[in-house]
A and B are shown apart, each in its own frame.
Chain A
């Protein structure tokens, strides 16, 4: 075992060069510090996530005395209790549905609009495109936004979560740039076969634009999952509460939380086995988990997408 691992790097590095020159110590120290520093940064990023994870699965009472690297005992009670807390399940459903519905709407609107903009037959094409792009550069401000949403009757409505984000200038630029570099002949042949614009969009443009659309879908989904601003200011209906806001409230009103949980706990017979801190950790974990799970799988994909946009846009 040892010999194979030892010979491998030597085989990769060009041997003759090595012999000619003595080991480059400067290079070695550079590598050492570079790897060391990056490792420290990776740990600093990962550790907080790891910490809430081990805390949330620790035995609550033991965890209170401090966990650092390993869970203290093992218990899933924090999760079992968290899931039963009033409002949590509703909030999870709201968060999940706004993520799915909002993402679908954004993806459809941005990609279909981007496709329309690439059609030279579209009258006032440039003007329409600019009209949408300019929205990237200004923002009316908080109060005008608040009053407008109220006027539209979006207060306490699920539509508030998914409608205003439908069309984003930046996404349109990315998709449009992508569609423009697709071969035009594909579309022409479909047209000769008698396909209409919408048919061409659904059966040719959309599938071919998958790389960029996936990128935008991930952005939109993450954005939807994370947003709580609209909920915080315009939705009072507890049935429409998002998971993020539930977490925020839990973190903020720690006294209320402990009261509520103690009541909860008294009803069950978990009294001496759970602390509010454990519940807090479990909730944080529930809100974070979807992102932590989904993100690494897609990350490389959309980094590519962004680079594409950065280079061309």
Chain B
């Protein structure tokens, strides 16, 4: 009896393993198209970086294009546009990092709301702007802030303010205006992750604090804030690695003659160099420079995070 069962299971196992191998091939075959999709749309474009090392002009095949080595990269240092563009990019990124605590504060405020329907209303409404395109944001902002927009009309009606103010064409305030628009669009969405963190705080901590006589503000200060600080720091670090990607669509859409000089960020510059000026090689070099710095920043930040918090973020 025993021997037969042993040989039977042995047979079964052998059968199973060959079966498994066949299954393996099947699965591999099924996975192949997806590997190809990832390759075609994410990896193949990387080969395009090669243009940065040539003096490429559209129409002439790459094989007949002179190799230029690192010339395109050297060009960046003598490019008079590079300074202002980098300045714009860093300034706008920096301003948005400055506003980073606001979603956290917003989440705390929402979590302190006791009425269920009001909480839901606030959350639903505040995340809505995340789901509309920058074009719609532009349309809304235009209807609010243009010289014939709601705000100016309202001020006129009240008899306040002399000439209508053109908020979207204000050269001096454009960074502030754009930062506020970005905040308007993203605050509710960014708050979700903090809300998740707040929900997962052990409620016993609050009960204990209450017994000790702590009020709302004290529990926020001593329990909620410290509990969500790690989340805040991770997100802050991630935003540092995105320092050079300030948000292409926003500034493309909101660009106009009055403010263009101050919101031309690196991504916008790359597009303008490439498609408007037609300088593919230089444009690719600038884009490549940006990608590489971003990756270096990401890994640096990750390393720092590992060192100080014991865990990475990537």
Interface centre among A67, A277, A288, by most chain B C-beta atoms within 10 angstroms, is A288
Assembled-state Cα–Cα distance A167/B117 (Å): 37
Are B38's CB and A247's CB within 8 A?
A: no
In the bound complex, residues from chain A placing their C-beta under 8 Å from that of B160 are none
| B49 at the A interface (CB under 8 A) | yes
Min CB–CB distance B134 → chain A (angstroms): 8
Q: Which residues 135-168 in A have Cβ within 8 Å of B in the complex?
A: 135, 137-148, 152, 163-164, 166-167
Are B125's CB and A48's CB within 8 A?
A: no
Assembled-state Cα–Cα distance A26/B193 (Å): 28
Nearest chain-A residue to B157 (Cβ)? A66
A66-B157, A143-B51, A148-B48 known; A42 vs B291 contact (CB < 8 Å): no
| A251 at the B interface (CB under 8 A) | yes
- Stretch from B2-10, B20-28, B92-100 at the A interface: B20-28
| A34 at the B interface (CB under 8 A) | yes
| B314 at the A interface (CB under 8 A) | yes
Assembled-state Cα–Cα distance A113/B249 (Å): 30
In the bound complex, residues from chain A placing their C-beta under 8 Å from that of B200 are 311
In the bound complex, residues from chain B placing their C-beta under 8 Å from that of A31 are 114
Are A131's CB and B38's CB within 8 A?
A: yes
A131-B35, A141-B290, A277-B148 known; A300 vs B120 contact (CB < 8 Å): yes
Nearest chain-A residue to B188 (Cβ)? A45
In the bound complex, residues from chain B placing their C-beta under 8 Å from that of A287 are 133, 135-136, 139
Identify B295's interface contact among A137, A288, A300, CB under 8 A: A137
A66-B154, A66-B157, A109-B37 known; A226 vs B271 contact (CB < 8 Å): no
Min CB–CB distance B272 → chain A (angstroms): 10
| A93 at the B interface (CB under 8 A) | no
Are B28's CB and A247's CB within 8 A?
A: no
Q: Which residues 257-306 in A have Cβ within 8 Å of B in the complex?
A: 277, 280-281, 284, 287-288, 291-292, 295-296, 299-300, 303, 306
A35-B113, A122-B31 known; A247 vs B135 contact (CB < 8 Å): yes
- Stretch from B76-84, B170-178, B280-288, B304-312 at the A interface: B280-288
Min CB–CB distance A48 → chain B (angstroms): 4
Min CB–CB distance A10 → chain B (angstroms): 15
Assembled-state Cα–Cα distance A300/B121 (Å): 11
Identify B287's interface contact among A112, A132, A142, A245, CB under 8 A: A142
Grouping DSSP codes into helix (H, G, I), strand (E, B) and loop, the A interface class, with mixed when no group exceeds half, is helix
- Stretch from B39-47, B63-71, B201-209, B221-229 at the A interface: B39-47
A137-B295, A142-B283 known; A42 vs B122 contact (CB < 8 Å): yes
Are B270's CB and A141's CB within 8 A?
A: yes
Assembled-state Cα–Cα distance A135/B36 (Å): 13
Are B38's CB and A251's CB within 8 A?
A: no
Are A140's CB and B48's CB within 8 A?
A: yes
In the bound complex, residues from chain B placing their C-beta under 8 Å from that of A119 are 27
Nearest chain-A residue to B283 (Cβ)? A143
Identify A251's interface contact among B39, B138, B187, CB under 8 A: B138
A122-B27, A141-B287 known; A292 vs B48 contact (CB < 8 Å): no
Chain A interface size, as a band, is: 35 or more
| A210 at the B interface (CB under 8 A) | no
Nearest chain-A residue to B121 (Cβ)? A42
Are B24's CB and A121's CB within 8 A?
A: yes
Nearest chain-A residue to B41 (Cβ)? A164
Are B215's CB and A144's CB within 8 A?
A: no
Are A247's CB and B136's CB within 8 A?
A: yes
| A6 at the B interface (CB under 8 A) | no
Assembled-state Cα–Cα distance A46/B184 (Å): 11
| A68 at the B interface (CB under 8 A) | yes
- Stretch from A49-57, A76-84, A182-190 at the B interface: A49-57
Assembled-state Cα–Cα distance A301/B121 (Å): 14
Are B253's CB and A34's CB within 8 A?
A: no
| A310 at the B interface (CB under 8 A) | yes
Nearest chain-A residue to B127 (Cβ)? A299
Assembled-state Cα–Cα distance A228/B122 (Å): 29
Assembled-state Cα–Cα distance A26/B44 (Å): 61
| B150 at the A interface (CB under 8 A) | yes
Are B184's CB and A45's CB within 8 A?
A: yes
| A123 at the B interface (CB under 8 A) | yes
14 contacts between A and B (CB under 8 A): A34-B109, A41-B122, A122-B31, A140-B287, A144-B45, A148-B44, A228-B133, A247-B136, A251-B138, A251-B139, A288-B136, A291-B132, A303-B192, A306-B196
A sample of 15 more A-B contacts (CB under 8 A), given A38-B122, A113-B31, A247-B135, is A26-B215, A26-B217, A31-B114, A38-B113, A117-B31, A119-B27, A121-B20, A122-B24, A142-B270, A147-B51, A148-B48, A281-B143, A291-B128, A295-B128, A306-B193
Interface residues of B (CB under 8 A from A): 20, 23-28, 30-31, 34-35, 37-49, 51, 106, 109-110, 112-114, 118, 120-129, 131-133, 135-136, 138-144, 148, 150, 153-154, 156-157, 184, 187-188, 192-193, 195-196, 199-200, 215-217, 249, 253, 267, 270-271, 274-275, 280, 283-284, 287-288, 290-291, 295, 298, 314
